[in-house]
Amino acid sequence: MKQQEIERKFLVKGDGWRGRGEGKLFRQGYIARTQDRTVRVRVAGDTGTLTIKYRGEGIARSEFEYVIPLEEAQALLDGLAPGEIIEKVRFTFEQEGSVWEVDEFMGANDGLIVAEIELGAEDESFVKPDWLGEEVSKVSRYLNVELSRLPYTAWDQVQKQGDGK
């Protein structure tokens, strides 16, 4: 199903978000990627999905997502190199009228925690929780597709400045 995706992404500071929502393990990788589009396979819990994203204007993107059999999603992930697979635990919860997704990365991206909010418009207002840090919506290295190429643990200290670490 096609939809317009408008997300704002933030680094997380502190633990004020912990204890909200239950975590779900995500494993995902990219079976195709170009400058302006990606094809992602994901296993989230016991559900497999295939997602095609096209870059749009600003932070908006077109997204097509399809549920696929879990076994097929696993087989597609198994075809990727281990370093290309993103592993994270996602916590989804509502706070002050907004739904937040906090991703705590593992493996090659261990130490990185980001929060995302989906909006109906780029300029939609929302209450920013005190555990939100720097906004990184337009910083490409924080995109999952980029983290699968250059993981967070491979960044040098100069690249990590401003991460609240």
Give the domains, in start order, of the chain with CATH numbers: 2-160 (2.40.320.10)
Strand partners, 2: 64
Lowest mean pLDDT among 23-27, 30-34, 155-159: 155-159
Put simply, whether the predicted model's pTM sits higher than 0.75 gets the answer: yes
For residues 162 and 134, is the Cβ–Cβ distance under 8 A? yes
Cα distance between residue 154 and residue 147, in whole Å: 10
Provide the pLDDT for residue 72: 97
Instruction: List the catalytic residues.
Output: 30
Q: Please state, for a pLDDT cut of 90, what percent of the chain lies above it.
A: 72
